[in-house]
Structure 1
Amino acid sequence: MTRTDTAARVIAAPAERVYAALVDPDALVAWLPPEGMSGRFERFDARPGGSYRLVLTYDDAADAPGKTTDGSDVVETRFVELVPGVRVVTATDFVSDDPAFAGTMTMTWALTPVDGGTRVDIRADDVPGGISAADHAAGMGSSLANLAAHLER
């Protein structure tokens, strides 16, 4: 069974700045990891067909066991579509031996100019069953709050 999760937030920044933060590795590693995690890229190539490998490390592994190791999640992500100022679409696979995390999750980040900034809508399609809806909603909300803090300073 497939699942789709969504989240949205208005960011007080123009769409071009938001888009830049979605495709720049230094910006991404600063805001993408949700609260309680930090990240580092092992590789990064932002172009259609390009990819990245991101290692997310839990601040406290006892609180949230990782998908890849006890304290980390590793994701292999491919850039499917990049439309400057409008949309970023990625296909993500979790590196895990647990079949509950198998499958490719498609993430669409859509940017819409609105009064006061840009509405950022995240749509995650084919979310692996091992990711709880509540945890995923909290993680996406946390990443959006981090993005807002990163761009609104």
Structure 2
Amino acid sequence: MSRIDRASRVIAVPPPAVYGALLDRAALEAWLPPEGMRGRIDRWDPRPGGGFRMVLTYLDPVGDPGKTSDGTDVVEVGFAELVPQESVVQTAVFEADDPSYAGTMTMTWRLEAVDGGTEVTVTATGVPPGIDQAAHEVGIASSLANLAAYLTTSSPGARRKPWPRR
């Protein structure tokens, strides 16, 4: 069976707010980098077939040497599928000389309206073998926590309730 890395979290905002944060350049730069990293988007084209290039920098590169260079991971992300308020499917390719980080990883962000907000489930398939599964799942969970914090403190409609469930 092929490897699947996954994390999920309920975020106290409606699906349109979450979906918007998945397709907003400034928002992604703020919440996508997991704990211990910061991110910068160099190229941005938010449409199916478009994508972005993100440079992730380790705040303390001593213990985390980076995939692209000491202290950095550079990833080319493509938008494979966008279904408003429901899902975003991305392809991700790391810039790395080490073949254990080669290949195209697929990240699927599914949004489901639930009591109290939106359940966001992230599923990664085709994960390069050089990426430790436990560490990757912790990183995804960290990004989801950042997303929750970003949306519940910055979204103008974040506290509006109730919103429709599906």
Q: TM-score, normalised by structure 1?
A: 0.98
CA apart distance, 1:89? 0.2
Q: Following superposition of structure 1 onto structure 2, how do residues 4-43 of structure 1 map, counting pairs within 5 Å?
A: 4-43=4-43
Q: Following superposition of structure 1 onto structure 2, how do residues 2-151 of structure 1 map, counting pairs within 5 Å?
A: 2-151=2-151
Question: Which of 1 and 2 has greater Rg?
Answer: 2
Letter of the aligned partner of 1:79 in structure 2? F
Looking at structure 1, the residues matched to 13 and 132 of structure 2 have their Cα atoms a distance apart, in angstroms, of 31
**1:9-56 deviation line (CA, Å, top 9, x unaligned):** 000000000000000000000000000000001101110000110000
Tell me if the contact between 1:77 and 1:90 (Cα under 8 Å) persists in the aligned partners: yes
Can you give the 5+ residue segments of structure 2 that lack an aligned partner in the other structure? 154-166
CA RMSD of aligned residues (A): 0.9
Looking at structure 2, the residues matched to 42 and 152 of structure 1 have their Cα atoms a distance apart, in angstroms, of 26
Runs of 4+ in 1 over 6 A off after TM superposition: none
Q: TM-score, normalised by structure 2?
A: 0.91
Report the secondary structure of 1:113's partner residue.
Answer: strand
Looking at structure 2, the residues matched to 74 and 149 of structure 1 have their Cα atoms a distance apart, in angstroms, of 24
Looking at structure 1, the residues matched to 88 and 49 of structure 2 have their Cα atoms a distance apart, in angstroms, of 12
Looking at structure 2, the residues matched to 149 and 41 of structure 1 have their Cα atoms a distance apart, in angstroms, of 20
Aligned residue pairs, count = 153
CA apart distance, 1:63? 1.7
Report the secondary structure of 2:70's partner residue.
Answer: coil
CA apart distance, 1:3? 1.7
**1:73-120 deviation line (CA, Å, top 9, x unaligned):** 000011000111000000000000000000000000000000000000
CA apart distance, 1:134? 1.2
Letter of the aligned partner of 1:7 in structure 2? A
Looking at structure 1, the residues matched to 77 and 151 of structure 2 have their Cα atoms a distance apart, in angstroms, of 23
CA apart distance, 1:143? 0.2
Report the secondary structure of 1:143's partner residue.
Answer: helix
Can you give the 5+ residue segments of structure 1 that lack an aligned partner in the other structure? none
CA apart distance, 1:2? 4.0
